[in-house]
């Protein structure tokens, strides 16, 4: 390589070019929204977009910061620097598209909940939290009581309880199961912003581990154990929820109330629930006949489904089918909100989209309570440690 070529290469703003190219690629993929032919856990589009799709503002900060550094270093005077700047500007337009899609979440939620008789109140978005602290989920007025055992399977039978410091009574109880395709995952991953937010409003929230990579129906039996554990400590409504595989568990729990086949050794326990919230769920078979919620359709408690139309892990078409078939047999509301531009795992951060979803879930649970269809919960009892 000649000295002239070496000098040109050294003079090129390679760091600026690299960072902008990465952001541009992820943004373009998120805007286009490629999806596989069928539900899969390892589609490349998910890994390229799940972060930037929920945190486009952070990508804007990266572009702005790197562009400012490149300008200060005089890197925008050569062709490569100017070309990179042009890419950054186009990418900014793509990020604006992602923000607009996230803003459209409220309208989608409002339309869907209106069918259930809920008028979602106008939302005052916490912009400071969204823009400056999306990774912050904890609330000062919420206590998390961690690693309580609900079974004898070690760490896979542990749960966390979130409650307000004042321990108010009368609020709903949310039981949440994490995702991970029944192979990975943990109770302190997805949904934590939701758990803290609802607990701050007087709910009691429970997030549970369950067996992974085990034959069906072991995880589903332990999901029932969680419900029985909660029922033994609280009177009143229980709303069961989950993300991806956790939505499968939540749905199966709601569709098989008090079924002895899923309650070996605790057949007499009341495992019925008052409502279900499924986030980007997988609802297909796990291991043969009888392992899908579609195999247990019945008159069920109210369901709220929330699924992104660009989900590239669990396809939205599968959830549409579940919704349609459940509506055919259930007399209770089956609410379905299709979220514009949403990808899988949109509940990892306190994002613009997820902040609106939290409000919708709170309205759904409050509506169940005000309808008076369930028993009231007794005074809050501290979990047994």
CATH code (residue 253): 3.40.50.1820
Residue 123, domain member (yes or no)? yes
On whether both 167 and 128 belong to a single domain, the answer is yes
On whether both 94 and 183 belong to a single domain, the answer is no
**Phi and psi torsions of 100, nearest 5°:** -65, -40
Domain end call among 70, 103, 136: 103
Helix, strand, or coil (residue 42)? coil
Is the per-residue pLDDT at 101 higher than 90? Answer: yes
Residue 110, domain member (yes or no)? no
Q: What is the pLDDT of residue 1?
A: 52
* % of the chain at pLDDT higher than 90: 84
How far apart CA 80 and CA 333 sit, in angstroms, is: 57
Per-residue pLDDT tens over the stretch 45-80: 999 999 999 999 999 999 999 999 999 999 998 999
Q: What is the pLDDT of residue 213?
A: 93
On whether both 269 and 146 belong to a single domain, the answer is yes
Q: Which is more confidently placed, 350 or 77?
A: 350
Is the per-residue pLDDT at 279 higher than 70? Answer: yes
**Phi and psi torsions of 364, nearest 5°:** -60, -50
Q: What is the pLDDT of residue 379?
A: 32
Q: What is the pLDDT of residue 371?
A: 47
Q: What is the pLDDT of residue 249?
A: 98
Domain end call among 45, 68, 103: 103
Residue 385, domain member (yes or no)? no
Q: Predicted confidence band at 43 (pLDDT cuts at 50, 70, 90)?
A: very high
Q: What is the pLDDT of residue 116?
A: 83
Q: For residues 373-381, give the mean pLDDT.
A: 35
DSSP-assigned states of every residue in 172-239: -EEEEE--STTTS--TTSTTHHHHHHHHHTT-EEEEE----S--TTHHHHHHHHHHHHHHTT--S-EE
Helix, strand, or coil (residue 204)? strand
On whether both 168 and 88 belong to a single domain, the answer is no
Per-residue pLDDT tens over the stretch 198-218: 999 999 999 999 999 999 999
Structure tokens at 16: 């600026």
Domain end call among 40, 72, 103: 103
Residue 75, domain member (yes or no)? yes
On whether both 198 and 343 belong to a single domain, the answer is yes
On whether both 164 and 280 belong to a single domain, the answer is yes
Is the per-residue pLDDT at 6 higher than 60? Answer: no
How far apart CA 240 and CA 223 sit, in angstroms, is: 10
On whether both 52 and 76 belong to a single domain, the answer is yes
Q: What is the pLDDT of residue 381?
A: 40
Structure tokens at 68: 């400012």
On whether both 74 and 130 belong to a single domain, the answer is no
Q: Predicted confidence band at 11 (pLDDT cuts at 50, 70, 90)?
A: low
Bridge partner list, 325: none
On whether both 213 and 250 belong to a single domain, the answer is yes
Is the per-residue pLDDT at 383 higher than 70? Answer: no
On whether both 217 and 294 belong to a single domain, the answer is yes
Among the listed residues 10, 2, 12, 45, the one whose alpha carbon sits nearest the alpha carbon of residue 311: 45
Structure tokens at 180: 């991970």
Residue 112, domain member (yes or no)? no
Q: Which residues are catalytic?
A: 244, 311, 344
On whether both 60 and 137 belong to a single domain, the answer is no
Residue 383, domain member (yes or no)? no
Range of the domain at 61: 3-103
Q: What is the pLDDT of residue 375?
A: 34
Structure tokens at 186: 């943990």
On whether both 36 and 166 belong to a single domain, the answer is no
Average per-residue pLDDT in the chain?
91
Cβ-defined contacts of 119-127 (< 8 Å, 24+): 120/359, 120/360, 120/363, 121/363, 123/355, 123/356, 123/359, 125/352, 125/355, 125/356, 126/355
Structure tokens at 285: 């078979």
10 Å CB burial of residue 104 (0-12, 13-18, 19+) is middle
Residue 355, domain member (yes or no)? yes
Instruction: State the total domains in the chain.
Output: 2
Residue 180, domain member (yes or no)? yes
């Amino acid at each position: 390589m000649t000295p002239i070529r070496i000098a040109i290469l050294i003079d090129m703003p390679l760091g600026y070019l690299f960072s902008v190219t990465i952001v541009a690629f992820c943004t373009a993929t998120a805007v286009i929204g490629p999806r596989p032919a069928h539900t899969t856990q390892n589609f490349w589009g998910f890994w390229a977009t799940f972060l930037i799709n929920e945190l486009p503002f952070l990508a804007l900060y990266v572009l702005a910061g790197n562009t400012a550094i490149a300008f200060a270093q005089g890197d925008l005077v050569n062709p490569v620097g100017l070309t990179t700047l042009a890419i950054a500007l186009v990418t900014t337009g793509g990020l604006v598209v992602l923000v607009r899609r996230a803003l459209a979440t409220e309208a989608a939620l409002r339309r869907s909940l209106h069918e259930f008789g809920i008028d979602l109140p106008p939302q005052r978005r916490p912009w400071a939290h969204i823009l400056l602290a999306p990774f912050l989920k904890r609330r000062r007025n919420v206590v998390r009581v961690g690693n309580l055992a609900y079974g004898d399977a070690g760490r896979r039978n542990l749960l966390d309880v979130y409650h307000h410091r004042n321990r108010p009574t009368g609020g709903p109880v949310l039981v949440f199961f994490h995702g991970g395709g029944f192979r990975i995952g943990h109770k302190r991953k997805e949904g934590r912003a939701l758990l803290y937010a609802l607990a701050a409003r007087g709910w009691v929230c429970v997030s549970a581990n369950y067996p992974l990579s085990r034959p069906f129906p072991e995880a589903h039996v332990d999901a029932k154990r969680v419900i029985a554990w909660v029922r033994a400590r609280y009177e009143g409504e229980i709303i069961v929820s989950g993300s991806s595989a956790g939505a499968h568990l939540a749905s199966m729990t709601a569709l098989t109330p008090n079924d002895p086949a899923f309650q070996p050794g605790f057949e007499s326990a009341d495992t019925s629930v008052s409502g279900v919230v499924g986030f980007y769920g997988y609802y297909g078979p796990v291991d043969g006949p009888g392992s899908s919620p579609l195999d247990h359709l019945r008159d069920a408690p109210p369901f709220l489904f929330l699924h992104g139309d660009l989900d590239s892990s669990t396809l939205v078409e599968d959830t549409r089918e579940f919704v349609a078939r459940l509506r055919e047999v259930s007399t209770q509301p089956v609410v379905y909100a299709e979220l514009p531009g949403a990808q899988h795992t949109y509940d990892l951060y306190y994002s613009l989209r997820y902040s609106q979803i939290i409000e919708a879930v709170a309205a759904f649970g409050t509506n169940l309570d005000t309808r008076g269809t369930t028993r009231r919960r007794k005074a809050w009892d501290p979990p047994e440690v």
